[in-house]
Structure 1
């Protein structure tokens, strides 16, 4: 019998055989599924890759969401810090705090961007997730455009007070997102970063509350 005249009984068998062969190949090269399933990719991490950024490290949907949301959150914290640092007469303790925020969150932005690139995820997906009020799809602690303008316009002690009030709320939102990642995330590097965010920003929240109380 030629290939042009395969019987109906043999066609499903052939399709099944091809399907099994493709599945076997896919298993060998499996990477990460964006729907939360995990796997190990065929590529090896480069020797100079940051901890937790290997493309073959398991990850899930919670990790992707954490990175997509924390990225613009960190970017806004740096924007707020730059706004304060651009002002004249800012007290040294507030300058130190703003520079501390930038020093911690700048490198984390690079790491988050690298993870999203490795995972094939949209780094800009969290940018429009919401500002101000925290809704179902919003990010807790994000400042609105009006909030940021108020900080830009403020001067002297008013600027310092407003920065502290806004950054306390901003940090509280970051801690909330990080705690969710610790609970649901799978990627070792992302969970490690989330734990660091919880610890460092909880300490900074208390520091900022003390500074507010002294004003």
Structure 2
């Protein structure tokens, strides 16, 4: 009886120990589950913060001022004339360097024209100014580097080395005008995308001016 009694006395203790183990396990699982939920909640919070940051960044990117509008409205026809000049190289240019640069100008500036028109549409602004001196291809040779209609007709009439030389001279002047306009945008603009494009224009066209001058020096 004594052994039996001792067994009975130990049995509850074992049950208590077992219950304690189960309870501890349940608490551990609960804690893990709680951590998971908390982490999930943290992830959602992070996502919301990220979304809010993206929205804020988008709003800032959409901000613009008059300088941004002027930059886009003036650079569109400026790029369009550069494309017109570059397209004349096909069948007229004889220098490999001129041909290569003409293709690069087309590849770089055609997409930029599309982008700038998109900005102006999103800003509810016209894609062209009502009046832009020198931008009608009539005056030309202003600070913007635009060519006159007479210049363009003269270039069309050229072929071979004569075309190459005139193209290089005209494009250097044209690029320098674009660089000046782009630097004004960098200084006075507000829109992040417009200022970035302005920086790309300054960098890219400055490099092309050096190439054109090098070609001109050897022709």
Q: TM-score, normalised by structure 2?
A: 0.69
Report whether the alignment pairs 1:69 with 2:84: no
Q: Could you list the runs of 5+ residues in structure 2 that have no partner in the other structure?
A: 1-53
Structure 2 residue 181 is matched with structure 1 residue 177 = yes
- Out of 78, 84, 96, the position equivalent to 2:89 is 84
Distance in structure 2 (CA, Å) of the matches to 1:59 and 1:108: 17
Aligned to 1:93: 97
- Tell me if 1:167 matches 2:171: yes
Distance 2:130 2:159 in 1: 31
Match of 1:143 in 2: 147
Q: Which residue is 1:25 aligned to? A: none
Q: Deviation at 1:133?
A: 3.3
Q: Aligned with 1:85: secondary structure?
A: coil
8 Å Cα contact 2:61/2:192 also seen in 1: no
Select the structure that is richer in helix: 2
C-alpha distance in structure 1 between counterparts of 2:91 and 2:131, whole Å: 24
Q: Deviations over 1:150-209 (max 9, x none)?
A: 100011100000000000000000000000000000000000000000000000000100
1:146 to partner: Cα distance: 0.4
Q: How far does residue 91 in structure 1 lie from its aligned partner after superposition?
A: 2.2
Equivalent residue number for residue 198 of structure 2: 194
Cα distance in 2 for residues equivalent to 1:117 and 1:61? 14
Structure 2: distance between partners of 1:121 and 1:92: 40
Measured in 1, the distance between the counterparts of 2:108 and 2:131 equals 20
TM-score of the superposed pair, with normalisation by structure 1: 0.70
With over 3 angstroms needed to count, the CA separation of the structure-2 counterparts of 1:55 and 1:82, relative to structure 1, is farther
Q: CA deviation digits over 1:66-104, x for unaligned, max 9?
A: 0000000000000000111232x6222211100000000
Residue 141 of structure 2: aligned partner:
133
Secondary structure at the residue paired with 1:150? Answer: helix
In 2 relative to 1, CA 177–79 (structure 1 residues): closer, same or farther, beyond 3 Å? same
- Structure 1: gaps spanning 5 or more residues: 1-43, 46-50
How many residues get paired?
161
1:127 deviates by 7.3
Compared with structure 1, are the counterparts of its residues 149 and 133 closer, same or farther at alpha carbon in structure 2 (3 Å cutoff)? same
Q: 1:108 corresponds to which residue?
A: 112
Report the alpha carbon displacement of residue 122 of structure 1 after superposing the two structures with TM. Answer: 1.1
